Amino acid sequence: MELKVHQPAGGAAAANVATVSGEVDLHSAPGLREQLGDLLAGTNPSLVLDLNEVGFLDSTGLGALVAARASATEHGGQLALVCTQPRILKLFTITGLNSVFKIHSSVDDALANIAA
């Protein structure tokens, strides 16, 4: 699992953008949870998290995302997810987390939603 964080083009943005790639499972989810917590506790507590490069996501990975959402809310921010992979989206639907998270089809759409 790898997490890459970057600022969107155009200067100051409503949120940071991070891309997760690889497998988010029992072994990598604790590291993701910690990295996201640190990021959300920083100067910008809003984050767009792009999951389109995630090859595998299990329940511990979902738990890390739930913890990140709680951290964003606690710090006065938001967490928006970007995902177009049917296999990953199905996990959110089966678990009911699709009603908890704002899941967008593009980073631009997620940024616009956070800025609104």
Q: Give me the tens of pLDDT residue by residue for the chain, a chain 116 residues long.
A: 999 998 776 655 789 999 999 999 999 999 999 999 999 998 889 999 999 999 999 999 999 999 999 999 999 999 999 999 999 999 999 999 999 999 999 999 999 998 76
CA 42 – CA 112 distance, rounded (Å): 21
For position 14, what pLDDT does the model report? Answer: 80
Give the tokens for residue 44: 């910008």
CA 113 – CA 3 distance, rounded (Å): 22
pTM (predicted TM-score):
0.93
CA distances from 25 to 22, 36, 47 (A): 10, 15, 21
Would you say domain 16-106 falls under CATH 3.30.750.24? yes
In a 3-state reduction of DSSP, which class is residue 30?
helix
Please return the burial class of 89, using the count of CB atoms within 10 Å of its CB with bins 0-12, 13-18 and 19+: middle
Give the tokens for residue 20: 């997760």
Residues forming a β-bridge with 16? 47
